[in-house]
Amino acid sequence: MSDAPAQLKVLVLVKYVPDAQFDRHLTGESPRLDRSDSILSELDEYAVEAALQLIEAHGGAKAGHEVTVLTMGPAAASNAVKKSLQMGATRGVHLNDDALAGSDAAATSLALAEAIRHEGGFDLVFTGMSSTDGETSLVPSQLAERLGLPQVTLVSEVSLDGGDIVARRDGDTETQYVRAPLPALVSVTDQFEEPRYPNFKGIIGAKKKKTTPLSLAELGLGADQVGAAGSWTEVASSEARPARTAGTVITDQGDAGVKLADFLADRKLL
């Protein structure tokens, strides 16, 4: 087992997604998800928290450790980086190119993998367990494959043991403790500790932190490798969710139980 890095470099992938509190809508001919009311993905906040706790356990920024957050998206996606910096991340990277619009999981993982290679030198890459928009959970595994990294999934606790990452995975019937050598990719679940809320000091301090812009040209990628052109999947059709119809009211006249059973049986729910 090798020694732990003297200066730990951690990367967290964060995504700017539609706020789950509001209804979601598809727009355009493609069609694509309307992202006008978006926030930092709540699931990615757990990944940021995991990264921050890990470096803090080893002396934090004062010891030379750093947490970089990387997002991919339009100009507004910088808000995802901004909140991560307010939480305590060291610096941000924003991959922004019009050609990226409409990328599926495969095209997204390609662009992110090249961005990670461009930045280079990370000991750990953290992601959320899924995004709250597409909810495919495919990108972490695809990234690990593209980068040639061992992957530890669905983690609820992490620590370092020498040059290994040690993680706890909580299943329905058992808890597993697994380890992998650094560098590695780790996806974090919402069973991790509750993410911190940016305090006043963090909000003010984030204004002094740097966010580096990136384009496809800097990564050596062409427009045909990402977006709709570079995606492996496409939306064949879509339609609005039908409005909810009025429910069936069963009035109890001594036979409500029978009527309810008949109702469920007619719909093959019994």
Assign residue 108 the CATH number of its domain. Answer: 3.40.50.620
More confident residue, 31 or 196: 196
Owning domain of residue 180: 9-245
pLDDT band at residue 20 under the 50/70/90 scheme? low
Number of domains forming the structure of the chain: 1
17 pLDDT exceeds 70? yes
Tokens of 25: 């809508």
Q: Is residue 265 one of the residues assigned to a domain?
A: no
Residue 1: pLDDT band (50, 70, 90) is low
Buried b (16+ CB within 10 A) or exposed e, 127-158: bbbbbbbeeebbbbbbbbebbebbbbbbbbbb
Let me know if residue 266 belongs to a domain: no
For residue 183, say if its preceding peptide bond is cis, omega within 30 degrees of 0: yes
Sheet holding 164-170, edge to edge: 157-161, 164-170, 175-181
Place of tokens 């899924």: 130
- pLDDT above 90 covers a percentage of the chain that reads 62
Among 97-106, 175-184, 239-248, 259-268, the minimum mean pLDDT is found in: 239-248
Would residue 1 count as lying in a domain? no
Q: What is the mean pLDDT of residues 67-92?
A: 95
Instruction: Examine residue 257 and state whether it is found in any structural domain, yes or no.
Output: no
- Over the stretch 2-16, which tens digit does the pLDDT of each residue have? 666 788 999 999 998
Residue range 204-233, pLDDT digits in tens: 999 999 999 999 999 999 999 999 899 998
CA–centroid distance for 263 within its chain: 41
168, 175 Cβ separation under 8 angstroms: yes
For residues 84 and 76, what is the distance between their CA atoms, to the nearest angstrom? 14
Q: What is the pLDDT of residues 181-205, one digit of tens each?
A: 999 999 999 989 899 999 999 999 9
Contacts of 215 (CB under 8 A, 6+ apart): 95, 96, 97
Q: What's the CA angle centered on 106, arms 102 and 112, to 5 degrees?
A: 85
Give backbone dihedrals phi and psi of 175, rounded to 5 degrees, phi first: -115, 130
Distance, CA of 117 to CA of 46 (rounded, Å):
24
Q: Is residue 139 part of a domain?
A: yes
The region of weakest confidence among 13-22, 61-70, 162-171 is 13-22
Residue 268 belongs to a domain? no
- CA 137, 221, 36, 105: dihedral to nearest 10 degrees? -20
**249/24 Cα distance (integer angstroms):** 30
Give the pLDDT of residue 25: 61
Q: How far apart are CA 158 and CA 11, in angstroms?
A: 15
* CB neighbour list of residue 135: distance below 8 Å, 6 or more residues apart: none
Residue 259 lies in a domain: no
65: Cα within 13 Å, side-chain hemisphere: 22
Spatial distance between the Cα atoms of 51 and 48, rounded to a whole number of angstroms: 5
Hey, which residues does 38 pair with through a beta bridge?
Answer: 18
Assess if residue 255 is contained within a domain.
no
CA 252/CA 237 separation, integer angstroms: 44
Rounded to whole angstroms, how far apart are CA atoms 142 and 108? 9
Q: What is the pLDDT of residues 105-157, one digit of tens each?
A: 999 999 999 999 999 889 999 999 877 776 688 999 999 999 999 999 999 99
Please answer whether residues 180 and 152 qualify as being in contact, where contact means their C-beta atoms are separated by less than 8 angstroms: yes
Instruction: Find the largest Cα–Cα distance for the chain.
Output: 75
